[in-house]
């Protein structure tokens, strides 16, 4: 307070002294009044400068203030800088928080008291088919039209999550979302969405897998049980008994093959990828596959020699890095399938060639009946068959292509299928250059 009154007091005192010595009769009062007026004008001028500075504060303008106004300006400037730093820090924290929510794999939507959208991240937009900023301040029920969500949102309590079909597809399948609603603040709600398509598909695959395995095992078991009952209840001669035992052996072998394929898939899924230090010589591998293919071709027609024209070209690749056991299984599956499905007298052509990029392609081309286009995307699914009766006749389990695809993916490669009805099929396994020596 004293620093603010000091200029006025000093001006009045100086004016009084000057008046005292210049005009004896009116000196003191008039001088004091004049000095006080000048001091007040200076005081108001400094206040005006401070007011202008407050509108546009800067260190340079602050240096032109004098007296208590400068001290007041400096204090205000320090408080202003402190507030700016605090605001900047809070803004940074807010942006970091929003960035973290934007990066979340879950959708986040903030709803006001009326159910209108205040904010949402991009994941929620992808899940629910919404856009920013077009859909802000829109009622959520007007945008998410799934009947299950509308019924859920209208409830007073939202203790449990719901699942419903959302717009769009994932891997060619309908998208499934899980949704939670949490109350916060004064009547506001936080909506969280999670893409559970993979979980739903995995659960469906598990159910299908169990059903398929049960079906595949039940059929030979039923046959075996029937034969056992026949042998136990009927008096059969040696020839009939031998015939029934042979049929039982076929069914038992079929179940053994199925169990072996299931174990192979389980081992592939639970083991690490093959290392880069394991080298596989391609020529001996092809020799073994060719020998097995000739035996299978002869067996198919109960002949002493192959009934197909089997062509194995000399490989353009000498060695590859990977598991010999796995690659033998994958390559053999393709060749044996071609032999089984190609009629007698047809041709199976096997090539191992190098790609322009330095990789390798193992291809099997046959002159079989071919496959319709609608079946091609699903051929590598477990237990998927184009013709179930035909597959059982040839002794297939429905797991061969699934094993083949899994093996080649573990080696960094891919499976490609080309086919035309009546003209045959070509199955190719492509491996990257990093696996080829």
Ordered by start, the domain boundaries in the chain are 2-98, 104-195, 200-271, 273-435
Per-residue pLDDT tens over the stretch 138-150 = 999 988 888 888 8
CATH of segment(s) 273-435: 3.30.565.10
Least-confidence region, from 9-18, 114-123, 337-346: 9-18
Question: 368 with 335: CB under 8 angstroms?
Answer: no
Distance from CA of residue 10 to its chain's centroid?
A: 79
DSSP state of 305: S
pLDDT for 112 equals 92
| The pLDDT of residue 379 | 85
DSSP assignment letter at 314? P
The confidence score (pLDDT) of residue 319 equals: 92
Provide the pLDDT for residue 200.
85
Predicted confidence (pLDDT) at residue 391 exceeds the cutoff of 80: no
Specify the pLDDT at position 36. 59
**Three-state SS for 276?**
coil
User: To the nearest whole number, what is the mean pLDDT of the chain?
Assistant: 81
Q: Is the pLDDT of residue 2 over 50?
A: no
The band of 117, judged by pLDDT with boundaries at 50, 70 and 90, is: very high
Name every residue whose Cβ is closer than 8 Å to that of residue 121 and which is 6 or more positions away in sequence: 101, 102, 104, 107, 108
Which one has a higher pLDDT value, 266 or 321?
Answer: 321
- pLDDT at 327 exceeding the cut of 90: yes
Q: pLDDT-based confidence at 43, cuts 50/70/90?
A: low
Model confidence at 53, pLDDT cuts 50, 70, 90, reads low
End-to-end CA distance of the chain: 91
Residue range 199-208, pLDDT digits in tens: 888 888 778 7
Q: Which two tokens stand for residue 223?
A: 């046959």
Could you say which of 3.30.420.40, 3.30.1490.20, 3.30.450.20, 3.30.450.40 is the CATH number of the domain covering 104-195? 3.30.450.20
Question: pTM of whole model > 0.85?
Answer: no
**Predicted local confidence at residue 1, as pLDDT:** 43
Q: Is the pLDDT of residue 106 over 50?
A: yes
274 or 47, higher pLDDT: 274
Least confident of 44-48, 133-137, 177-181: 44-48
pLDDT top residue among 374 and 310: 310
In angstroms, the CA 368 to CA 365 distance is: 9
- pLDDT, residue 102, reads 83
Say which residues have a Cβ less than 8 Å from residue 251's Cβ, sequence separation at least 6.
Answer: 220, 221, 223, 224, 227
Looking at domain 200-271, its CATH architecture is Orthogonal Bundle (1.10)
Mean pLDDT in residue range 103-121:
90
Span 99-123, average pLDDT: 88
Q: What percent of the chain has pLDDT over 90?
A: 27
- Bridge-partner residues for 427, per DSSP? 364, 417
- How far, rounded to the nearest angstrom, does the alpha carbon of residue 202 sit from its chain's CA centroid? 14
What confidence tens digit (pLDDT) does each residue in 172-198 have?
677 889 999 999 888 899 999 999 988
67 falls in which pLDDT band (50, 70, 90)?
Answer: low
Q: Minimal CA–CA distance to 361: which of 309, 291, 413, 305?
A: 413
The confidence band for 404, taking pLDDT boundaries of 50, 70 and 90, is very high
Q: What is the pLDDT of residues 253-305, one digit of tens each?
A: 888 878 888 888 887 877 777 776 688 999 999 999 999 999 989 888 777 78
* Mean of pLDDT values over 422-426: 92
At 199 the pLDDT is: 87
Task: Check residue 204 and give its pLDDT.
Answer: 81
């Amino acid at each position: 307070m004293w620093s603010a009154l000091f200029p006025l007091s000093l001006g009045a005192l100086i004016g009084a002294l000057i008046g005292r010595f210049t005009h004896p009769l009116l000196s003191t009062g008039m001088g004091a009044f004049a000095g006080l007026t000048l001091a007040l004008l200076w005081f108001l001028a400094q206040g005006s400068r401070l007011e202008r500075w407050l509108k546009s504060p800067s260190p340079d303008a602050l240096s032109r203030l004098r007296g208590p106004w400068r001290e007041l300006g400096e204090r205000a400037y320090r408080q202003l800088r402190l507030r700016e730093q605090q605001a900047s820090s809070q803004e940074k924290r807010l942006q970091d928080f929003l960035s973290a929510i934007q990066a979340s794999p879950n959708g986040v939507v903030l709803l006001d008291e009326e159910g209108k959208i205040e904010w949402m991240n991009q994941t929620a937009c992808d899940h629910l088919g919404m856009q920013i900023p077009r859909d802000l301040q829109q009622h959520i029920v007007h945008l998410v039209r799934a009947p299950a969500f509308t019924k859920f949102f209208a409830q007073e309590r939202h203790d449990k999550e719901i699942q419903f079909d959302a717009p769009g597809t994932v891997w060619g399948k309908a998208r499934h979302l899980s949704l939670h609603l949490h109350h916060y603040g004064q009547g506001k709600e936080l909506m969280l969405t999670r893409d559970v398509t993979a979980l739903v598909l995995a659960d469906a695959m598990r159910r299908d897998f169990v059903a398929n395995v049960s079906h595949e095992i039940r059929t030979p078991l039923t046959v075996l049980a029937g034969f056992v009952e026949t042998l136990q209840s009927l008096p059969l001669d040696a020839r009939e008994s031998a015939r029934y035992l042979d049929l039982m052996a076929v069914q038992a072998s079929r179940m053994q093959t199925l169990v072996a394929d299931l174990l192979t898939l389980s081992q592939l899924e639970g083991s690490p990828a093959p290392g880069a230090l394991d080298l596989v010589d391609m020529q001996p591998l092809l020799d073994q596959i060719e020998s097995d293919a000739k035996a299978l071709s002869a067996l198919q027609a109960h002949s002493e020699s192959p009934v197909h024209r089997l062509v194995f070209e000399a490989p353009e690749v000498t060695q590859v890095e990977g598991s010999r056991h796995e690659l033998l299984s994958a390559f053999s599956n393709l060749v044996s399938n071609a032999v089984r499905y190609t009629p007698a007298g047809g041709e199976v052509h096997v090539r191992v060639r190098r790609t322009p990029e330095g990789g390798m392609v193992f291809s099997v081309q046959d002159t079989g009946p071919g496959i319709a286009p609608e079946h091609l995307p699903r051929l590598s699914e477990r237990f998927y068959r184009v013709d179930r009766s035909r597959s059982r006749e040839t002794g297939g389990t429905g797991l061969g292509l699934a094993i083949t695809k899994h093996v080649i993916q573990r080696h960094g490669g891919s499976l490609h299928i080309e086919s035309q009805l009546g003209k045959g099929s070509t199955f190719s396994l492509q491996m990257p250059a990093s696996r080829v020596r």
